[in-house]
């Protein structure tokens, strides 16, 4: 585990944000590598929404090569302006001063390292400086190293591969799963819901995992793997604080199945994904672990037309069942079982692959528990 983490961290180069899902974007290295504009792989050029061509590039291990070599390092910065009806505390402004309900902030700055490493093998790694929490720091971010290649299974044309990554759903192809779901980024100073499914960023950058995947007959996508927790020294090495989130106690299995239909002018996909995770409550290990099980349904639609006008839609629902025997014995929960359901619906429009707008609606419902 330590060696595996060092490999991932070394390729990431620097560390990144661990507070909820974050996203990778179109990077110049990939564009030069395949000899295509960023819009060939990404809706709206900037990403992270993938076109059918972009999904195929990811399936094949980021290794397709039709263009020229390019320095594999890219830089991105993101800022926001946040207004709240009620003033926040000084700590919530993360050191940005001024009004506590009218805040302009630099939310993050990221470095990306990505490209072809060898035949059928490549990767994308992100490291991020963030203002999350009360201190600013560098941490590793989404990292996905993968080997993938086309094979013939009888009469079925397929792509098989392996992904080494640090967050459940980072390896997925679609933007309706949490790691790549809208909002692709959010303000670091905005108040956020206090509850959400574990698979929606709760383990991001706090684990190391491996998944095997396959696409069969251009229609069926399947992925199966698991995640193990990083140790305290490993998390420190990559800039993650144990106290900032949940900690796995052992292996957490992950699975994904989706059906897709790709056409020249439009494409769609729908599927199911899930995670079952043993979690130490607040990282207290004296009373065993809780068990959190997430099951999600998702759907994607893209109308690409002639690429002048592009419309996309994404929807997902995640059901979470929590078995809280450890939390209840520690006095952190009133009940030994709880549930939570998360809904999300997003739609976007892009003109000329340059200008775009996205809107989303979301809701979270769950069991009432004053202690939890």
Token pair 């014995």: residue: 329
**Measured distance CA(94)–CA(111) in Å, rounded:** 22
Instruction: Name the token pair of 97.
Output: 């001063």
**Measured distance CA(22)–CA(182) in Å, rounded:** 10
Token pair 């383990």: residue: 203
What's CA 24's distance to the chain center, in Å?
8
pLDDT in tens, 276-333: 999 998 888 989 999 999 999 999 999 999 899 999 999 999 999 999 999 999 999 9
**Measured distance CA(166)–CA(153) in Å, rounded:** 30
Tell me which of 10 and 233 has the higher pLDDT: 233
**Measured distance CA(103)–CA(34) in Å, rounded:** 41
**Whole-number CA gyration radius for the chain:** 20
> Is this structure's pTM higher than 0.85?
yes
DSSP state of 50: B
pLDDT in tens, 298-314: 999 999 998 999 999 99
Tell me which of 128 and 1 has the higher pLDDT: 128
The contacts of residue 114 (CB under 8 Å, 6+ apart) are 24, 27, 29, 30, 62, 72, 74, 122, 123, 124, 125
**Measured distance CA(103)–CA(273) in Å, rounded:** 37
CB atoms within 10 A of CB 15: 23
- 115 pLDDT exceeds 90? no
**Measured distance CA(368)–CA(241) in Å, rounded:** 29
Averaged confidence pLDDT in the chain: 86
Q: Percent of the chain at pLDDT above 90?
A: 55
**Measured distance CA(353)–CA(15) in Å, rounded:** 31
């Amino acid at each position: 585990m330590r060696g595996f983490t060092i490999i991932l961290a070394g390729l990431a180069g620097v560390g990144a944000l661990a507070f909820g899902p974050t996203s990778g974007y179109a990077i110049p290295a990939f564009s030069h590598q395949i000899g295509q504009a960023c819009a060939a792989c990404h809706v709206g050029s900037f990403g992270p929404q993938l076109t059918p061509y972009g999904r195929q590039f990811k399936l094949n291990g980021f290794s397709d090569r039709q263009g020229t070599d390019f320095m594999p390092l890219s830089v991105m910065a993101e800022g926001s302006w946040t207004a709240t009806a009620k003033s926040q505390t000084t700590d919530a402004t993360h050191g940005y001063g001024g009004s506590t309900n009218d805040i302009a902030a630099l939310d993050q700055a990221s470095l990306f390292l990505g490209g072809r490493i060898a035949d059928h093998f490549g990767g994308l790694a992100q490291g991020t400086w963030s203002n999350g929490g009360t201190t600013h720091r560098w941490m590793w971010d989404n990292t996905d190293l993968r080997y993938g290649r086309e094979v013939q299974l009888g009469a079925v044309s397929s792509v098989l591969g392996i992904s080494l990554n640090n967050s459940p759903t980072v390896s997925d192809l679609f933007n309706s799963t949490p790691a790549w779901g809208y909002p692709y980024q959010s303000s670091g100073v905005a108040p956020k819901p206090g509850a959400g499914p574990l698979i929606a960023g709760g383990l991001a950058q706090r684990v190391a995992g491996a998944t095997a995947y396959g696409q069969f007959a251009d229609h069926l996508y399947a992925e199966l793997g698991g995640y193990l927790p990083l140790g305290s020294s490993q998390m420190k090495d990559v800039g993650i604080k144990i106290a900032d989130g949940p900690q796995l106690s052992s292996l957490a299995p992950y699975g994904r199945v989706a059906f897709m239909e790709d056409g020249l002018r439009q494409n769609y996909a729908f599927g199911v994904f899930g995670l079952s995770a043993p979690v130490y409550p607040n990282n207290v290990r004296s009373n065993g672990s809780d068990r959190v099980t997430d099951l999600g349904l998702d759907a994607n639609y893209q109308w690409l037309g002639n690429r002048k006008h592009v419309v996309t839609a994404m929807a997902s629902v995640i059901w979470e069942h929590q078995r809280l025997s450890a939390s209840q014995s520690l006095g952190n929960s009133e009940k030994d079982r709880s549930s939570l359901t998360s809904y999300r619906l997003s739609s976007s429009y892009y003109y000329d692959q340059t200008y775009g707008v996205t809107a989303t609606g979301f809701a979270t419902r769950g069991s009432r528990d004053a202690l939890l």
